[in-house]
Amino acid sequence: MITISTENLIHTYSPGSPFEKTAVDGVSFTLTSGEVMGVIGHTGSGKSTLIRHLNGLLKPTSGTVKVDGEDIFAKGYKRGKLRSRVGLVFQYPEYQLFDETVEKDIAFGPRNMDCDDEEIKRRVVKAAEFAGLTEAELKASPFELSGGQKRRAALAGVLAMEPEALILDEPAAGLDPVSRRRIMLDILAFAKETNAAILLVSHSMEDIAAYTNKVAVMRDGKFVMQGETREIFSRVGELAEHGLSVPQVTRICTECGCEGTVLTVEEGAKALSDMLRGCAE
């Protein structure tokens, strides 16, 4: 069980210089085991800066980051352990693959955690399974893999640390639709089986709608909207004011006058057929 929270988190880059920039400006939220939280917002809104605080990589200019109620920047707090409890998958993580085989790359995290050989082996096998990597892919050099395979290898490297929280910065960006869906389903399967807390940064409204249960909308460093996913996507006009759209299926069903807010194509198909059936009666 893990709970991560921020309170009035502010991060200013290069304070006092001509390049001063407040990238995160008073963000408060709580994320706990079993939740999948989405963070959406345009490029430059502060998403990547925010999430780098959650495992202690960046220090707040002011405000707090707490894990299980403890301030992770308080004196004496052991932040070393946090790197494995809170797994951070960076944007384009495939650039961080470096070892001669995928297997060794995945083993890097558990090895750094001082796991013994048997435990490392177990974790690599388990992580590879979650990330859908085959035996042949494990033996391959990371540089021989396709884009989708590299992304899954990088994900497996973080999963091998068996994090209680998984923070993902655009995990599906740049992938084809099939790889995209696959990696999202892999992440969800991991979350479900381990009861991890997930924070998903994404540009894809479709992914956020389909896979999260709460959402924050970030703009100019602030959370301008925050709530349960279905409730947020029902506020179409407000999202538009922030320059954001809703999934196509949500928009079509709203325009057709379906009841409630539809989040996925499956829900849309049902809502539309129910409505048409109603018309026929």
Q: What amino acid is encoded at 204 in this protein?
A: S
* Nearest distance in Å: CB 159, ligand ADP: 23
* Nearest distance in Å: CB 22, ligand ADP: 8
CB atoms within 10 A of CB 84: 19
Q: Which of 38, 41, 87, 157 binds ligand ADP (CB under 6 A)?
A: 41
* Nearest distance in Å: CB 196, ligand ADP: 22
* Nearest distance in Å: CB 46, ligand ADP: 4
Q: Which of residues 178-197 bind Mg ion (CB under 5 A)?
A: none
Of 202, 157, 212, 195, nearest to 175 (Cα)?
202
Judge whether 260 and 249 are in contact, CB under 8 Å. no
Strand 3-13 with 165-169, pairing: unpaired
Cβ closer to ligand ADP: 99 or 220? 220
Give which of ligand ADP, Mg ion, none residue 13 binds (C-beta under 5 to 8 Å, depending on kind): ligand ADP
Judge whether 92 and 144 are in contact, CB under 8 Å. no
Q: Which of 2, 7, 12, 13 binds ligand ADP (CB under 6 A)?
A: 13
What is the strand order of the sheet 86-89 is part of?
Answer: 86-89, 165-169, 197-201, 36-40, 214-219, 222-228
* Nearest distance in Å: CB 48, ligand ADP: 3
Q: How far apart are CA 3 and CA 246, in angstroms?
A: 29
Helix axes 117-130, 147-159, angle to 10 degrees: 130
Q: Which of 3, 7, 12, 21 binds ligand ADP (CB under 6 A)?
A: 21
- x-or-dash string of contact with ligand ADP, 43-82, rule CB under 6 A: xxxxxxx---------------------------------
Of 215, 213, 191, nearest to 201 (Cα)?
215
Cβ closer to Mg ion: 48 or 212? 48
Does 149 contact ligand ADP by CB under 6 A? no
Q: How far apart are CA 125 and CA 104, in angstroms?
A: 12
Give which of ligand ADP, Mg ion, none residue 41 binds (C-beta under 5 to 8 Å, depending on kind): ligand ADP
Cβ closer to ligand ADP: 58 or 127? 58
Q: How far apart are CA 249 and CA 253, in angstroms?
A: 6
* Nearest distance in Å: CB 232, ligand ADP: 18
Q: Which of residues 33-52 bind Mg ion (CB under 5 A)?
A: 48
CA-based torsion, 202, 155, 7, 234: positive or negative: positive
Cβ closer to ligand ADP: 162 or 170? 170
Which stretches of the chain bind Mg ion, using CB under 5 A?
A: 48
Residues that bind ligand ADP (CB under 6 A): 13-14, 21, 23, 41, 43-49
